[in-house]
A and B are shown apart, each in its own frame.
Chain A
């Protein structure tokens, strides 16, 4: 045990004396969560729009007032002809034009249906999409109010996206993803790099010739990263609770336990990577290409899995991060307990056992 503590102390010296790994360990989680929280966002604020109102009746006036009273839009221009739309967009300030049809208000009452055209500047497709959704939501809201007083029995079906994002905080959706990426990065990449570093320096050979058993060497290298990853997970959760006021609906203990499980899964992956690579550089490349990209692209963090082509949906199943994101989204946002995520938890445990078994086998082959 004393040997072991000495080993771990040595590992901490390595980490704290290397500015690069310190930055990856502590700078990056904070930078990422702040970036995703403040800068990279699907929310829109004070978007400049123009109005083309062919009807100019009470209904259109009410709708226009409602839009301009929201904090999302500010009406910068009123135009009177279709021909102006093009030039308005070309100036670049205006991101959307609302075009009310002639006799909008009358059609709404008589035909129970009126038309409004939302033209958006799709050079930035995400923003355009959001603008459309927000305007739809405002229209929907207006109709609901109207329906209360006058019996109008038609509906605009709102986009499900608004239902998810009811609080209009995209940071809530990013936190689970960022946490997953950070834990994966710290656990898998940092351990695989630190193990291959010993190989590269030749110290691994010295350690293998020492009375330490190979598994002791590996565990000694991994334990410090378990600690650091747990600290990181805690920092991310605290930042999201206190800076972004994110509610954690479910049990913090379950959240912690699941995080530790995912950390161990990632460490097992890191060990596996280190058994198949001999240099720090190849360990880093494998971690980045083999882990980070799939995590970002296929885990459902940014692109929803349900909208992927079928083969990719199948592939996404073998990515541990996918299951972890499902688990922590469930715990954080929906407040579910273990009863709802036991299947995903079992899958993660299974993957961990598999990775460890393969690494042990590979490790033995190398020794022969």
Chain B
């Protein structure tokens, strides 16, 4: 079961004119895996994710997400994935419950299913008492956690998290990663980008993108051995420096 690939990417390329934002990247992600997708700003992470979630067309190469082809079946991909972007993305002027109802609704969940699911996840988040509060009045950390629950609402096979913990305090980050682990344990594949190298250590495997290419891909432990350093931070710096 653990060896089943849910993402298969081969020589995926996205070019804007002569500039290759993503340059022939190849990798696989296994079911239930927490896959860290690292890279400096402008390395091409977001462009790569956009191709995988079906909102940007690749220039060349192959990619399959949950067994669906990114060229021909973007709609099927969208139904089977969850997505949380680096910018917080719930509606501030809607209440917690209204946000859940809305996002559950656009994924086609029945009203009954939404009620049940939202009750469960609100209890889990400890937010059931404030479900009628406007999201805009919540602290950022709560919003992020709520946003993650909303992304999981329709039980997607893969969740794409684009810098989910930006600007959040260490305790909330810790709680957030507990949620990620829990989702992964239940079989959801997690595809996460981050700037925090300590978070990279939490991942099962990480890839590091530099200037459009994947320069390293392995478990954090193996990468540290390979580069003969003590932390992922140093791995990252070494890679970035070599390129320069």
Contacts and interface: CB of A to CB of B under 8 A. Distances in A.
Contacts of A210: 78, 103, 106-107
Contacts of B78: 209-211
Contacts of B75: 211, 213
Contact of B105 (A7, A202, A367): A7
A208 B22 CA distance: 21
Interface stretch (A11-19, A73-81, A255-263): A11-19
Interface in A2-51: 2-3, 6-7, 9-10, 13-14, 17-18
Contacts of A13: 91, 93-94, 98
B54 interface: yes
Contacts of A18: 93
Contacts of B88: 202
Given A202-B85, A210-B78, A10 B55 contact: no
B56 A368 contact: yes
Interface string B83-117: 10111111111100010011101111000000000
A79 B142 CA distance: 82
B208 interface: no
B53 A209 contact: yes
A206 B94 contact: no
Nearest to A220: B106
Contact of B107 (A9, A211, A367, A368): A211
Given A205-B85, A368-B56, A14 B105 contact: no
Interface size class of A (residues with CB under 8 A): 20 to 34
B79 interface: yes
Interface residues of B, number: 28
A3 B89 contact: no
B106 A7 contact: yes
A6 B91 CA distance: 14
Chain A binding surface SS class: helix
A367 B53 CA distance: 12
Interface string B34-54: 000000000000000000011
A367 B106 CA distance: 20
A203 interface: yes
B195 interface: no
A206 B105 CA distance: 13
A61 to B, nearest CB: 71
Contact of B89 (A14, A205, A367): A205
Nearest to B92: A201
A212 interface: yes
Interface string A184-202: 0000000000000000011
Contacts of A9: 102
A178 B150 CA distance: 44
A206 B220 CA distance: 30
B29 interface: no
Interface string B57-84: 1000000000000000001001101010
A205 B55 contact: yes
Closest 10 A/B residue pairs (Cβ): A202-B87, A6-B105, A209-B83, A202-B89, A17-B93, A206-B89, A10-B102, A211-B79, A210-B106, A211-B78
Interface of B: 53-57, 75, 78-79, 81, 83, 85-94, 98, 101-103, 105-108
22 contacts: A2-B105, A2-B108, A3-B106, A7-B105, A9-B102, A10-B94, A13-B91, A201-B89, A201-B91, A202-B86, A202-B88, A203-B90, A205-B85, A205-B87, A209-B53, A209-B55, A209-B81, A210-B78, A211-B106, A367-B55, A367-B57, A368-B57
Interface of A: 2-3, 6-7, 9-10, 13-14, 17-18, 201-203, 205-213, 367-368
Given A206-B85, A211-B78, 8 more contacts: A2-B108, A9-B102, A13-B91, A201-B89, A202-B88, A207-B106, A209-B78, A367-B57
